[in-house]
Structure 1
């Protein structure tokens, strides 16, 4: 009798596994849709490399479906970002000149089925964040080329109330967590940027004339956009290739050197890896810089794989 009971327990557990996986993917779908459907405003804490900052956020979905969002750092130097439909309109404070079209808040279009090819997604339990009940998702990488996540999603709306980025040892390398959130639409005044918020020029789409390609990117990563922007130290145009797998992202910056002597570099800034490698060529060379939320070994391999069209490996 005990053996029969044990077999039923094991068999029942095996049957429950695909059900739990399906439920987890449903939560990923809700997360993907939440920012396009839900008004909210609140305060969250951001942590990386042992440093904390507090931010206020106002997020509104208008009747025509457009999404307006404003973020202001509430402690330390004042920093501000205003975005409309995911596109940065202006930046202020220390972010001026550093933010172009990137996202500071995770408003990403997620494909649950594609993500499940690169991550093992499981329901890990329940929690309570900012006085709201949440479901906890464990998002575990299936290879060494990406980090893991622990996501605490609001049970009512699917909004991410807490997000942890974890390295291969399970250590927290980035934390974003709400301390206060209200599901109400901010008014026009709350979405109005300060006078010091500097407009961001729209970047030029250079998808047709890149002249560069990567011979290797991690499985699951695809090229999402190709942009050109002016270098902060010269009049040259810097090419930016942005890749992502739905959760993780990295960008490759390609800047002409014109023969300048520049050393290779490798830096880790919390969850962000920065790897720069000089590509030698007859026209004076190019500095290839990979920046993103990926392990340093992966960024190194991507940097070494970049080639101008028709070039052979060095």
Structure 2
């Protein structure tokens, strides 16, 4: 059996090389578990991604999901509602200390175990529990391979498995397990360059609701899903007096604070840099001498910081450390 597996791996590697595909261990790790090709009449991965985007913004449901980050496992109760044309989520931790997170259009509020609540301003790039927002396949294709990976079952439901596989080491890979009936992603794997899952989110049970609810019946905080990344890049971002030079291939500034909103006395700015799938937030504020110098990692989140002309530059996002460091290094300006 080991000999057969080795032969299959060598054969698949030769085919990928002849097709001009790169990605190394990540590509192999994503493709090997599913070797069946799409049958006639099967929906394409791009069509399934479109259905997934619509499901995330239109469906109402309740369920229990598990979140695995490294060796830490959490269980969450989630309720997803549509109110005023906006998607909202309520989250409640079922394991560990009692805690909840609320995200509105304006703020993010964390409810701590002692019932204290801490609120901070929310930026448009803040992610929801499930990856949401439309995905522009044409924009992704130069940097990712979008591939159907067969079928699987999650929470007792049939799913199509889609791999979004990076063509280089500048971004992470994804596996989406898309519900065959509704299009909702019932499981999402975030993969590093060695095909090792960094984060996994999976429903263990789910109930789909009718669509006539106008407000969440749950009393836990609501969490609004992020807007599509493609809509954030519809207009040029005024970054003055800052600018970005030599961003990693495929990344561009797609959102940011209006420069007029930054007080001349405070001069705090925020920008979001994205390749259409991976996003990195960049924060610029006066250097108080206690900002991040160097880099730090928590799960899939990497952060890099440095000082520039009396300001602290901090880049944070779900992207490999070299990418986050390069984005932080690309910030230039002399306010």
Query: Which category describes the TM-score, using the shorter chain as reference length?
Result: 0.7 to 0.9
Superposed CA deviations along residues 48-93 of structure 1, whole A, max 9, x for unmatched, are 131111222111235x63323222222223122244xxx3555232
Report which structure shows greater RCO (CA 8 Å, sep ≥6): 2
Superposed displacement of residue 142, structure 1: 1.1
Other-structure match for 2:57? 36
Superposed displacement of residue 262, structure 1: 5.6
Q: Quote the Cα distance in structure 2 between the aligned partners of 1:89 and 1:262.
A: 23
Cα gap change, 1:278 to 1:65, in 2 (>3 Å): same
Structure 2 counterpart SS, 1:108: coil
Q: Quote the Cα distance in structure 1 between the aligned partners of 2:160 and 2:239.
A: 45
Other-structure match for 1:92? 110
Listed as ranges, the matches of 1:34-113 within 5 Å are 34-62=55-83, 65-75=85-95, 76-83=97-104, 87=105, 91-94=109-112, 96-97=118-119, 100-101=122-123, 102-105=126-129, 106-113=131-138
Q: Quote the Cα distance in structure 2 between the aligned partners of 1:290 and 1:302.
A: 7
Contact 1:41 1:57 in 2 (8 A): yes
Cα gap change, 1:34 to 1:220, in 2 (>3 Å): farther
Structure 2 counterpart SS, 1:126: strand
Out of 268, 272, 276, the residue aligned to residue 242 of structure 1 is: 272
Normalization by structure 2: what TM-score?
0.72
Listed as ranges, the matches of 1:131-210 within 5 Å are 131-185=156-210, 188=215, 190-193=217-220, 208=238, 210=240
Structure 1 counterpart SS, 2:195: coil
Cα gap change, 1:221 to 1:163, in 2 (>3 Å): same
Contact 1:127 1:135 in 2 (8 A): yes
Superposed displacement of residue 133, structure 1: 0.5
- Gaps of at least 5 residues in structure 2 are 1-14, 20-36, 223-236, 260-264
Other-structure match for 1:305? 330
Q: Quote the Cα distance in structure 2 between the aligned partners of 1:188 and 1:70.
A: 11
Contact 2:70 2:198 in 1 (8 A): yes
Larger radius of gyration: 1
Q: Quote the Cα distance in structure 2 between the aligned partners of 1:100 and 1:300.
A: 23
Superposed displacement of residue 120, structure 1: 0.3
Q: Quote the Cα distance in structure 1 between the aligned partners of 2:99 and 2:122.
A: 18
Contact 1:72 1:81 in 2 (8 A): no
Contact 1:21 1:123 in 2 (8 A): no
Q: Quote the Cα distance in structure 2 between the aligned partners of 1:116 and 1:274.
A: 26
Q: Quote the Cα distance in structure 2 between the aligned partners of 1:82 and 1:252.
A: 20
Cα gap change, 1:181 to 1:243, in 2 (>3 Å): same
Other-structure match for 1:3? none
Cα gap change, 1:250 to 1:107, in 2 (>3 Å): same
Q: Quote the Cα distance in structure 2 between the aligned partners of 1:209 and 1:304.
A: 16
Contact 2:279 2:317 in 1 (8 A): yes
Aligned length: 273
Superposed displacement of residue 182, structure 1: 0.8
Contact 2:145 2:167 in 1 (8 A): yes
Normalization by structure 1: what TM-score?
0.76
Structure 2 counterpart SS, 1:103: coil
Aligned-residue CA RMSD (Å): 3.2
Contact 2:81 2:216 in 1 (8 A): no
Superposed displacement of residue 213, structure 1: 1.3
Out of 254, 264, 268, the residue aligned to residue 297 of structure 2 is: 268
Out of 22, 26, 38, the residue aligned to residue 47 of structure 2 is: 26
Superposed displacement of residue 152, structure 1: 0.6
